[in-house]
Amino acid sequence: MNLKQLSHILDLSPTTVSRALNGYPEVSEETRLRVQAAAAKHGYRPNARAKGLATGRSMVIGHVIPSSSRHEMVNPIFGDFVAGAVKKYAEHGYDMMFTNADDTSIEDAYRSLFQRGAVDGVVLQGPKVNEPRIEVLNRMQVPFIVHGRSTGVSVPYDWIDVNNKSSFLRATRFLIDLGHRRIALINGLEDMDFAQRRRDGYLEALKQAGVSPDPALMRSAEMTEVYGHHETRDMLRLDDPPTAILTSSMISAIGVRRALDEAGLKMGRDVSVIAHDDDLSYLKNGQDVPIFTATRSSVRHAGELAAEMLIERIRAPHDPVKTRLLEAELVVGGSTGPAPNRF
Amino acid sequence: MNLKQLSHILDLSPTTVSRALNGYPEVSEETRLRVQAAAAKHGYRPNARAKGLATGRSMVIGHVIPSSSRHEMVNPIFGDFVAGAVKKYAEHGYDMMFTNADDTSIEDAYRSLFQRGAVDGVVLQGPKVNEPRIEVLNRMQVPFIVHGRSTGVSVPYDWIDVNNKSSFLRATRFLIDLGHRRIALINGLEDMDFAQRRRDGYLEALKQAGVSPDPALMRSAEMTEVYGHHETRDMLRLDDPPTAILTSSMISAIGVRRALDEAGLKMGRDVSVIAHDDDLSYLKNGQDVPIFTATRSSVRHAGELAAEMLIERIRAPHDPVKTRLLEAELVVGGSTGPAPNRF
DNA sequence: CTCGGTTTTCAAAGCGCTTTGGATGCCGGC
DNA sequence: GCCGGCATCCAAAGCGCTTTGAAAACCGAG
């Protein structure tokens, strides 16, 4: 069933039917109702491709999944962010499209997505330091939003981010206040912008307290469970092991916990742990009492906000740049306690 | 840059340029090269909407995300499945599209996706028992594949699934062979087809061993960490607590482990645990030695296979129905051991 | 040279929608 | 009785591509 057929049934012109369905004023209320009834009855759905071709808009927003962020992995954070975004997209009549691209052609992927006219805007996830994609998108004039920021990029761009530096500064200070001095940081991949900011916060807190950082206590890699376990086990074998561990994700915090268990150490008593908690639906930080002391910020909520900001940008391409900085909340759970007395 | 402009630059007709780029034989090799060079030079990308309108194909495959599978949650399994699928889509020139739908309008969402011409086929994830969407899709004549199966659906359909029943039968038998009799099952949502099949396998193994099932040991809900923790803690308070626990996901297994730790019980010695492991990228079941004894089947691999099967179906809509049953592997880790002597 | 058969190219129609620029009919005011 | 203004409706063009049917160019055989 297409427009032509429907208009023929109604004995109206395609013009009128189109206008009736799209809410234009130059059609009488009576015919509008008649048209809507017929459309519903025959299950008419305007062809998205034809509509897109005629309007120049696709009502689709694109995301690019790097086929391998190192080891062909998919971050579970991704799922919650996307769930938040897609919900808002739906509210505004947008669909969401994914393209896959290997790391080398990731810029190409964005370019093709937009220049083919497949999408009206794109979301850039997981920016690195000096992220080259930002300038590419900027030059292409495609509406986009960055989830995160990128140190070193000079062009202006819309972004939404959590205050990584201040939240890790605060978490580190919290541990210092508890008397900890040997504080480890199990961070994300080094070239990720968020990882650097978190490290900056961590280092600044140490500096303010006059504690000199120990490279042996600073680790970075993709934040899996196995990674959290491995690094923790490794650091516990040091002559002067950490009494507290700061980790960039709940998933690796679970690995940290496992390593502590294996070593017969009690979390919160022998070793304190603070995690960054993205408030994932399937991995809540406990029910009423938090399992981990954590810096918490819902990535799902970030997804919703990102979607809204992008849709605004699509509507008003020449508005001034918009940015949004979310503050993470510090929730105190049972995984932290005073530094153990080592004498 | 569009076809018309490009053809004008080349002093050729749009017809010829189109044919040159799409590999038709009725164009001389010389002009083909000339066209390809010019296209590359000017960064020409055929407009996807126009192409789709002309060809009747959109080269997009649709997935529907229920906006709330109960509590607005997003399963991390989703991420890995999608990553597998999108990779194969890309290899065949397809993009992936997501639409969001609340539980009531989920059929509508599929219908609209396809009838609008937005996608060439769809993937149905997380089928329930007597899944109504299958018949809807079947009636609509849309190419689709089901990840999982649906007991009670009579129409034929393509599916790919893991052998849930036999793998849980095997896991349960493994526990029985270790001397366990009080075996708990922490399962997924009751109306999900996979959950029923797993329960069937579990029950059959008990029956074969002459153990009568205890309803107090059978739990079902959405498989979060908190859920695994909650149910385990609850069951440990029973007069006759379980000596072994079977759980439907690694995530809830982590919760199980946490509850055991809190109760001062050692996993594998005091209580045995077997999990179903979807081999998630970010939540590997240990490195060399598995953390949990588990029934393992890569959901990412399932995503790849599903994508291939769907693309075949799109190409040959009238081929006989294709199905694929994957066998889960039983990997033995440190989480299981002989039933403790309770005398 | 001519002619049938290839090879190569092209003009035009069509995909299903929106939108511009009328056309039509109806109203009250002069 | 005529006319401007308003409310409705419509024909046709156009979005950027593919594809059909036909024309042009070229070829070697006769």
b/e per residue, A25-63, with b = 16+ CB within 10 A?
A: eebeeeebeebeebbeeeebbbbbbbbbbeeeebbbbbb
Residues of chain B with CATH 3.40.50.2300: 60-162+299-326, 164-297
Whether A31 contacts chain B with CB within 8 A: no
Q: Are B96 and A101 a contacting pair at CB < 8 A? A: no
Q: From residues 128-147 of A, list those within 7 angstroms of strand C by Cβ.
A: none
Q: Mean pLDDT in chain A?
A: 93
Range with the poorest average pLDDT among A4-8, A22-26, A68-72, A97-101: A68-72
Whether B289 contacts chain A with CB within 8 A: no
Residue A248 has pLDDT above 70, yes or no: yes
Q: What is the pLDDT of residue A71?
A: 47
One-letter identity of residue A182: R
Helix H or strand E encompassing A175: helix A164-177
Whether A48 contacts chain B with CB within 8 A: yes
Whether B223 contacts chain A with CB within 8 A: yes
% of chain A surpassing 90 pLDDT: 87
Instruction: From residue A11, give the alpha-carbon distance in Å to each of A7, A31, A341.
Output: 6, 11, 88
Q: How far is the CA of A156 from the C1' of C18 (A)?
A: 35
Q: Are A49 and B53 in contact (CB under 8 A)?
A: yes
Q: Are A48 and B116 a contacting pair at CB < 8 A? A: yes
How does DSSP classify residue A336?
-
Residue A194, number of CB atoms within 10 A of its CB: 24
Q: What is the pLDDT of residue B71?
A: 47
User: Measuring from the CA of residue A17 to each C1', which nucleotide is nearest?
Assistant: D9
Average pLDDT for residues A43-72, to the nearest whole number? 86
Residues of chain B with CATH 1.10.260.40: 3-46
Q: What CATH number does the domain located at A164-298 have?
A: 3.40.50.2300
Of the partner residues A45, A254, A283, the one whose CB lies closest to the CB of residue B112 = A45
Helix H or strand E encompassing A95: strand A95-101
Phi and psi dihedrals of B300, rounded to 5? -65, -40
Q: How far is the CA of B53 from the C1' of D26 (A)?
A: 36
Residue A91, number of CB atoms within 10 A of its CB: 13
Please list, in sequence order, all residues whose beta carbon lies within 8 angstroms of the beta carbon of residue A81, skipping any fewer than 6 positions away. A125, A147, A299, A300, A302, A303, A306
> What CA–CA distance (Å, rounded) separates A53 from B47?
9
Chain A residue closest to B47 (CA)? A116
Q: Are B74 and B110 in contact (CB under 8 A)?
A: no
The whole-angstrom distance between A47's CA and the closest CA on chain B is 4
Residue A69 banded pLDDT, cuts 50, 70, 90: low
User: Measuring from the CA of residue B26 to each C1', which nucleotide is nearest?
Assistant: C8
The whole-angstrom distance between B95's CA and the closest CA on chain A is 6
Average pLDDT for residues A68-75, to the nearest whole number? 59
Q: Are A223 and A249 in contact (CB under 8 A)?
A: yes
The whole-angstrom distance between A232's CA and the closest CA on chain B is 14
Q: What is the pLDDT of residue A13?
A: 93
For Cα atoms B109, B115, B120, give the angle at the middle one, nearest 5 degrees.
95
Phi and psi dihedrals of A331, rounded to 5? -105, 135
Residue A73 banded pLDDT, cuts 50, 70, 90: low
SS3 B125: strand
Instruction: From residue A246, give the alpha-carbon distance in Å to each of A112, A182, B52, B74, B196.
Output: 40, 11, 51, 26, 41
Average pLDDT for residues A122-140, to the nearest whole number? 94
DSSP A186-209: EES-TTBHHHHHHHHHHHHHHHHT
DSSP A247-269: ES-HHHHHHHHHHHHHTTPPBTT
Whether B60 contacts chain A with CB within 8 A: yes
Of the partner residues B50, B97, B111, the one whose CB lies closest to the CB of residue A97 = B97
**CA torsion sign, B330 to B335 to B337 to B342?**
negative
Pick the CATH number of A3-46 from 1.10.260.40, 3.90.850.10, 1.10.3720.10, 1.20.120.420: 1.10.260.40
SS3 content of chain B, % helix, strand, coil (to 5): 45, 15, 40
Residues of chain A with CATH 3.40.50.2300: 60-162+299-326, 164-298
Whether A321 contacts chain B with CB within 8 A: no
- Count interface pairs A-B at CB distance under 8 A: 169
> What CA–CA distance (Å, rounded) separates A281 from B182?
31
For the stretch A182-236, pLDDT in tens is 999 999 999 999 999 999 999 999 999 999 999 999 999 999 999 999 999 999 9
**Domain B164-297 classification at class level:** alpha beta
pLDDT below 50 — which residues of chain B?
71
Please list, in sequence order, all residues whose beta carbon lies within 8 angstroms of the beta carbon of residue A64, skipping any fewer than 6 positions away. A98, A99, A100, A101, A106, A109, A110, A113, A122, A124, A125
Q: Are B98 and A100 a contacting pair at CB < 8 A? A: no
For the stretch A285-333, pLDDT in tens is 988 889 999 999 999 999 999 999 999 999 999 999 999 999 999 999 9
> What CA–CA distance (Å, rounded) separates B222 from B74?
10
**Domain A60-162+299-326 classification at class level:** alpha beta
The whole-angstrom distance between B318's CA and the closest CA on chain A is 23
Nucleotides of C under 7 A from a protein CB: 7-12, 14-22
> What CA–CA distance (Å, rounded) separates B247 from B299?
17
Average pLDDT for residues A97-108, to the nearest whole number? 82
